[in-house]
Chains A and B, each alone.
Chain A
Amino acid sequence: NAGVTQTPKFQVLKTGQSMTLQCAQDMNHEYMSWYRQDPGMGLRLIHYSVGAGITDQGEVPNGYNVSRSTTEDFPLRLLSAAPSQTSVYFCASSYSGGRASTDTQYFGPGTRLTVL
């Protein structure tokens, strides 16, 4: 098992550019989510999905789109990048999103994004 994989590892964008951060998991997990991590802020939830075809907004969804066409993949799209979106982005997955008492969220290695 590769676990949760994210690409790219680093990215620099200019203001207004668009891009897609990729996330994939090979554990057949139902629940996937995207977080951003900023200094002194911990991790904040952007969007999440409880299964293929189902997505919902988290705490800080503005400026980001997601889709979940397969169980394995959960891409995050920035439609028009802004400097405020400079951050480290983490994708996570879990079997049931916390319904089971033994559930665990597994995090990917992160994508470090800089918007100039």
Chain B
Amino acid sequence: GQQLNQSPQSMFIQEGEDVSMNCTSSSIFNTWLWYKQEPGEGPVLLIALYKAGELTSNGRLTAQFGITRKDSFLNISASIPSDVGIYFCAGQRGAQKLVFGQGTRLTINP
């Protein structure tokens, strides 16, 4: 089945560093979403992007909807310990189901 290519698969950083991850697809999406999942819980929506070229921030998080509509990135600035988790991108077309990336596991050394 279709999946998004998300990279990197894992990141090990120092507290205070900036983080960048991205997703690419061979297909166009109308919506790009970024979720965070913590152990034993379901994914929680962080940022939703609805227009090509859109740049949206949520606190220290910034995400962009690629101009080709086939990619998106998420940046986290000045990372803190509670940023630890798995980050997923997801693409959506209209009222259809989400297609998820494989996830980026973020580990932070204090």
Q: Which residues in A have some Cβ–Cβ distance to B below 8 Å?
A: 4, 31, 33, 35, 40-45, 48, 50, 58-60, 90, 92, 96-99, 101-102, 104-110
Contact = CB atoms under 8 A, between A and B. Distances in A.
A41 B1 CA distance: 11
A50 B45 CA distance: 20
Interface string B25-62: 00000010100000011111100101000000000000
A40 B3 CA distance: 11
Given A42-B103, A102-B48, 17 more contacts: A35-B100, A41-B102, A42-B6, A42-B101, A42-B102, A43-B88, A43-B90, A44-B100, A45-B97, A45-B98, A58-B97, A59-B97, A97-B95, A98-B31, A98-B92, A101-B31, A105-B98
Q: Give the residue among A42, A92, A96 with the most B Cβ atoms within 10 A.
A: A42
A106 B41 CA distance: 12
A10 to B, nearest CB: 10
Chain B interface residue number, banded: 20 to 34
Contacts of A108: 42
A109 B2 CA distance: 25
Given A107-B42, A108-B42, A40 B97 contact: no
B41 A109 contact: yes
Nearest to B45: A104
Interface in B1-39: 1-4, 6, 9, 31, 33
Contact of A43 (B9, B44, B50, B100): B100
B41 A44 contact: no
B110 interface: no
